[in-house]
Structure 1
Amino acid sequence: MKYRQLTKEQFESLNEEFARFLATQSIDVKEWNQIKKEKPTVADDEMNVFSDVVWDDVLSKTNYVEHFSKTSANLFKCEAKEMHRIAIKINTDINLLEQAGFEWLLKNPLDSSVEIFKGSKAYNLERNLEIFDLIEKGSNISKGEIFEYFNGLIS
């Protein structure tokens, strides 16, 4: 397995897509229920393959990822060959996880208590695996507005 199996909730939200996936393998609902009951490892394998297909599709379309903590933000732009990172550290009593703290940062990005670092690196692993690793560590896929805002400020 390349990534991880989708959660029960993710499978439920992709119910139709999973049914089509099984249909491409000539597995109907009746047969699927039988496989789950009599051959749970085969069912698990099918779910793993489907999960990898879904993850690959999502990650291939992902261009930005971000991770916030109370005093820092890590913003990533994921291009084909390299990843760009903007790291922001707040050295004051501001909580970026709260709306007021986040808004303060947007209004005061050049305040003396704000440190901003920028860097780029080529991927060590396959692009999608590195993005997946960031997501597994708590990052979220984003549209990139925050990255581009700060990139415009420091470029």
Structure 2
Amino acid sequence: MKYRQLTKEQLLELHEEFAKFLATQQIDVKEWKTIKVEKPEVADEELNIFSDLVWEDVLSKTKYLEHISKNDINLFKCSSKEIIRIYIKLNDTTKSFLDTNDFNWFLKNPVNDSIDYFKASKKYAEERNLEIFKLIEMGSVISKGDLFKATSQLIQ
């Protein structure tokens, strides 16, 4: 397995797609129920294959990631050859990016002495989608890139 198996919640959301996937494997609902009971290892392998296909599709379409914590924001732009990272450090310990009011303050006051910005880029050390997947597994979320674009213009 290249990535990880989708969670039960994710599989429930994708039940129609999974049914179509099973159909391409020439497995109908009745046969799937039998496989789950009599050959759980085969069922697990089918879930693994489907999960990898879904992850591959999602990761291939991913252009931006965000990871927001108490005092740090990591923004990523994922191109085909490199990943660009903007790191935002909040030096005011009385504020938190996780607090809605403080985050809104940051959006209204991006140029403040208590905020530091760093920008860097690097070529992928391994396959692009694997690196993006690892960032997601570490807590990053896929975004539309609005914060990345605004911050990037701010620190030019």
Q: TM-score range by the shorter chain?
A: over 0.9
Note the 1:6-155 alignment, pairs <5 A. 6-92=6-92, 93-155=94-156
Q: Which runs of 4+ in 1 moved over 4 A?
A: none
**Structure 1: 5+ residue stretches without partners:** none
Deviation at 1:109, TM superposition (A): 1.3
After TM superposition, give the deviation of residue 98 of structure 1 in Å.
1.4
Q: Mean Cα displacement is larger for which, 137-146 or 95-104?
A: 95-104
Give the Å deviation of 1:73: 0.2
Runs of at least 5 residues in structure 2 that lack an aligned partner in the other structure: none
How many percent of aligned residue pairs carry the same amino acid? Answer: 62
TM-score normalised per structure 2: 0.98
User: What amino acid does structure 2 have at the position aligned with 1:136?
Assistant: E
Q: For residue 122 of structure 1, what is the amino acid of its counterpart?
A: K
1:110 Cα offset (Å):
1.4
Count of aligned positions: 155
Provide the secondary structure at the position in 2 that maps to 1:138. coil
SS at match of 1:102: helix
Distance 2:105 2:95 in 1: 8
1:125 Cα deviation (Å)?
A: 1.0
TM-score, normalization by structure 1: 0.99
Tell me the secondary structure at the aligned position of residue 74 of structure 1: strand
Partner of 2:2: 2
